[in-house]
Amino acid sequence: MVTLNAPSIRSNEASEKQLDELHIPVDLISVVDQSGSMQGKRIALLKETLNYIVDRMGPLDRLDIVSFDTTAKETLQNAIWYHIQTGGDKPMGSGLEMAIKLLRNRQATNPSGALLVLTDGQDSQRHDYSNLMEQLPEDVVCHTFGYGSDHYAALLSQIV
């Protein structure tokens, strides 16, 4: 067994400006599940995930949040905590379509882009999303995050 540790770029001598220069700007679209099945710990963990992402964003990064229902970090975090609530019942496909449309219609792009799907996978209209995901721009990667021990992993693996 071999264990390797990469050297840390966060030294006592590195300034915030130097760290920002090492960060490659990224465009993130997060598709957020607000359905009733996400209540309780799931929605709380989803919100923590989004705030974790916001905390690590650089000055040139962009984040869009698309829910299954339809600039400052503090404003964004308040929106995450107070406006993402459970109770909707729209299909995941509608959120994915909107996110892909946002990514395809960007007027300016960062060197890196990602689509984040945050859900328990309990879709109100479960079907094959492979045709829809083929429309994702080539320079964008998709990551799925399943919430709850009973999340529907088969659907999430189908999306990526």
Alpha-carbon span 73 to 79, nearest angstrom: 10
pLDDT tens digits, residue range 81-90? Answer: 888 888 877 7
**CATH placement of domain 25-159:** 3.40.50.410
3-state secondary structure of 25: coil
pLDDT in tens, 40-86: 999 999 999 999 999 989 888 999 888 765 444 666 777 888 888 88
Provide the residue ranges of all domains of the chain, joining segments of one domain with +.
Answer: 25-159
- Model pLDDT, residue 51: 93
Here the tokens at position 53 are 């992402």
Q: How many CB atoms lie within 10 A of CB 28?
A: 22
Backbone dihedral angles phi then psi of residue 143, each to the nearest 5 degrees: -125, 140
Q: How far apart (Å, rounded) are the C-alpha atoms in residues 140 and 159?
A: 13
3-state SS, residue 95: helix
**Per-residue pLDDT, 80:** 84
Neighbours of 160 (CB within 10 A): 13
* C-alpha to C-alpha distance for 47 and 144, rounded to whole angstroms: 15
Hey, is 66 helix, strand or coil? strand
